[in-house]
């Protein structure tokens, strides 16, 4: 018996379309889960990777956020402490507002090729520390991003099989709205002197939002930290062209105090706060002055970079003097050359040092651990930054391997078995502290397949009221 296949063709075509659609939906999640021990946040997986920075090219302490199709780049840089060249590759994954892989395929958010090689690298020189410095600009000629939203950058070590080395979050915004923030003291009397409340208005006269509470989602981040971000905030009041986020006792952050700082830029002429610098066994050893707890101390206004760090070297004084003269009197070509080569002084000629921290404490805490905390730890309580108690000097102590630069940091206290750090005893909190806040506004219309990032506003608590 012969069966006529013609009537079955529409059915087969329909099944093929459904299969392709299903693959498109599950493929991003499948690829996302193939990396062993993958974390969908900023993380360093290999011990030989140091001094990872990721920011807008030219803005050293900025969050990695850029506008869609407006030019500019994000710059990733890091050091590999191994002497030999390592083949590093990278890829990017589009994510939803909660940093899970979106349903978009690479073809939908990427022009170019995934799994590209990091081609820009150089070896340290004029430094006793041996390392290889790598740099990556995104987007680039091999990879352009076509959709707004959240992205996860994944860097792999490819020499001995594909091993994850670094993950970093970044965002592409397609501005459609205006965000107008205010910073106030909370109405809650218990938080009035220690916390900061964020209210804001979203104006969208030229952008239609039909169902604000379903289609909009706002996130508020303090000092670039994701661990204490307030997420998935819905409008409290809605108008046709305006959304108000004016909650009481909801978008509230502990203000903290201004960060402690370590100025490690000069090893020849150490900055205040450094007790001693020695060169022993072909390695710099830096002893810091002893820190004290600030929980009960009054607020003291000082300049900081809100927990971030900058790689910089001031030991090459002759070159820095020449740079200043050229910046003031040189030709355009000379200034461009200095700008191009200036990073070599910091990235390639800076030393690594063992830095010894100490925090005075008359006794050891029985049920809490003390950690060094800040941008240098990726805002995480990592084991390598846990301090140990030394009864001989009545202090918590730690040794960190750091590159010459300027570092902000704090001391965090973590109850054993807990996950949320406390700063009440080690640092304290005061409402006048200058913090940097970033508001992210995501939009997913009914039937949409991904979260568009349609608004970003970064501001200082000191200058927005």
Tally: H helices and E strands in the chain: 5, 30
% of the chain at pLDDT higher than 70: 86
Read off the pLDDT band of 13 (50, 70, 90): very low
Look at residues 110, 210, 137 and name the one whose alpha carbon lies nearest to residue 448: 210
Look at residues 227, 245, 228, 249 and name the one whose alpha carbon lies nearest to residue 237: 245
Q: CA separation (Å) from 218 to 15, 174, 183, 341, 389?
A: 39, 15, 16, 40, 42
Look at residues 41, 36, 53, 66 and name the one whose alpha carbon lies nearest to residue 167: 41
199 torsion bin: left (phi>0), alpha (psi -120 to 50), beta (else): beta
Whole-number Å distance between alpha carbons of 192 and 177:
31
Number of residues assigned to the chain: 465
Query: Is a pLDDT exceeding 50 seen at residue 4?
Result: no
Query: Is a pLDDT exceeding 80 seen at residue 173?
Result: yes
Domains observed in the chain? 26-173 (2.60.40), 178-256+432-460 (2.60.40.10), 260-313+349-415 (2.60.40)
The arithmetic mean of pLDDT across residues 33-51, rounded, is 90
Element (H, E) at 95: strand 88-95
Compute the radius of gyration of the chain from its Cα atoms.
25
Give yes or no for a contact between 406 and 271, defined as CB atoms under 8 angstroms apart.
no
**Could you identify the residue written with the tokens 């760090």?**
309
Query: Is a pLDDT exceeding 50 seen at residue 338?
Result: no
Read off the pLDDT band of 463 (50, 70, 90): confident
Bigger pLDDT: 23 or 350? 350
User: Any residues with CB less than 8 A from the CB of 303 and at least 6 apart, and which?
Assistant: 258
Judging by DSSP bridges, how do beta strands 388-390 and 110-112 pair with one another?
unpaired
Give yes or no for a contact between 304 and 258, defined as CB atoms under 8 angstroms apart.
yes
Give yes or no for a contact between 184 and 241, defined as CB atoms under 8 angstroms apart.
no
The arithmetic mean of pLDDT across residues 156-160, rounded, is 84
Read off the pLDDT band of 24 (50, 70, 90): very low
pLDDT at residue 343, as a whole number: 56
pLDDT at residue 450, as a whole number: 98
* Bridge partner list, 79: 50, 133
Read off the pLDDT band of 21 (50, 70, 90): very low
Whole-number Å distance between alpha carbons of 282 and 261:
26
Model pLDDT for residues 124-139, shown as the tens digit of each residue: 988 999 999 999 999 9
Query: Is a pLDDT exceeding 80 seen at residue 10?
Result: no
Model pLDDT for residues 72-87, shown as the tens digit of each residue: 899 999 999 988 899 9
Q: Within a 10 A sphere around the Cβ of 164, how many other Cβ atoms?
A: 18
CA angle 268, 374, 417 (to 5 degrees): 130
Whole-number Å distance between alpha carbons of 444 and 210:
11
Model pLDDT for residues 198-250, shown as the tens digit of each residue: 999 999 999 999 999 999 999 999 999 999 999 999 999 999 999 999 999 99
Query: Is a pLDDT exceeding 80 seen at residue 404?
Result: yes
DSSP strands (E only) in 174-254: 178-184, 195-203, 216-222, 225-233, 237-239, 242-245, 252-254
User: Any residues with CB less than 8 A from the CB of 371 and at least 6 apart, and which?
Assistant: 377, 381, 382, 385, 386, 387, 411, 412, 413, 414, 421
The arithmetic mean of pLDDT across residues 34-53, rounded, is 93
The arithmetic mean of pLDDT across residues 48-69, rounded, is 96
Peptide bond into 360 cis (omega under 30): no
Report the b/e string of 333-358 with b at 16+ CB within 10 A: eeeeebeeeeeebbbbbbbbbebebb
At residue 180, φ and ψ (nearest 5 deg) are: -115, 105
pLDDT at residue 327, as a whole number: 54
Q: How is residue 14 written in tokens?
A: 């329909």
pLDDT at residue 340, as a whole number: 43
Query: Is a pLDDT exceeding 80 seen at residue 317?
Result: no
Q: CA separation (Å) from 87 to 112, 118, 154, 158?
A: 20, 8, 14, 5
């Amino acid at each position: 018996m012969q069966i006529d296949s013609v009537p079955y063709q529409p059915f087969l075509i329909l099944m093929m379309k459904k299969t392709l659609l299903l693959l498109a939906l599950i493929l991003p999640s499948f690829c996302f889960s193939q990396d062993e021990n993958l974390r969908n946040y900023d993380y360093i997986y290999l011990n030989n990777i140091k001094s990872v920075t990721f920011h807008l090219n030219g803005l050293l302490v900025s969050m990695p956020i850029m506008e869609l199709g407006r030019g500019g780049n994000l710059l990733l840089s890091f050091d590999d402490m191994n002497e030999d060249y390592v083949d590093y590759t990278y890829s990017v994954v589009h994510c939803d507002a909660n940093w899970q892989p979106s349903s978009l395929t690479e073809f939908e958010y990427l022009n170019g090729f995934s799994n590209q090689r990091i081609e820009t690298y150089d070896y340290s020189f004029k430094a006793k520390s041996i390392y290889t410095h790598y740099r990556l600009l995104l987007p680039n000629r091999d990879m352009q991003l076509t959709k707004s939203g959240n992205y996860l950058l994944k860097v792999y070590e490819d020499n001995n099989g594909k091993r994850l080395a670094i993950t970093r979050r970044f965002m592409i915004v397609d501005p459609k709205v205006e965000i107008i923030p205010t910073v106030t003291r909370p109405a809650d009397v218990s938080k009035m002197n220690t916390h900061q409340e964020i209210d804001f208005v979203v104006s969208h006269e030229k952008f239609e939002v039909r169902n604000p509470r379903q289609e909009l989602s706002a996130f508020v981040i303090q000092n670039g930290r994701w661990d204490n971000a307030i997420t998935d905030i819905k409008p409290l009041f809605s108008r046709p062209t305006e959304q108000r986020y004016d909650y009481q006792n909801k978008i509230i952050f502990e203000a903290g105090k201004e960060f402690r700082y370590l100025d490690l830029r000069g090893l020849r002429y150490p900055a205040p706060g450094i007790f001693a610098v020695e060169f022993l066994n072909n390695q710099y050893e830096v002893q810091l002055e002893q820190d004290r707890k600030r929980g009960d101390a009054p607020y003291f206004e000082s300049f900081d970079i809100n927990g971030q760090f900058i790689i910089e070297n001031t030991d090459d004084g002759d070159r820095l003097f020449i740079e200043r003269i050229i910046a003031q009197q040189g030709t355009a070509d000379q200034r461009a050359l200095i700008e191009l080569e200036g990073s070599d002084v910091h990235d390639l000629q800076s030393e690594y040092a063992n830095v010894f921290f100490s925090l005075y404490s008359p006794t050891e805490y029985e049920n809490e651990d003390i950690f060094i905390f800040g941008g240098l730890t990726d805002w995480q309580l990592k084991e390598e930054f846990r301090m140990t108690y030394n009864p001989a000097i009545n202090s918590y102590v730690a040794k960190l391997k750091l590159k010459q630069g300027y570092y902000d940091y704090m001391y965090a206290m973590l109850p054993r078995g807990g996950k949320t750090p406390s700063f009440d005893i080690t640092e304290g909190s005061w409402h006048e502290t200058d913090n940097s806040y970033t508001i992210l506004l995501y939009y997913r219309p009914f039937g949409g397949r991904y979260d568009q990032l349609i608004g970003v506003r970064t501001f200082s608590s000191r200058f927005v009221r």
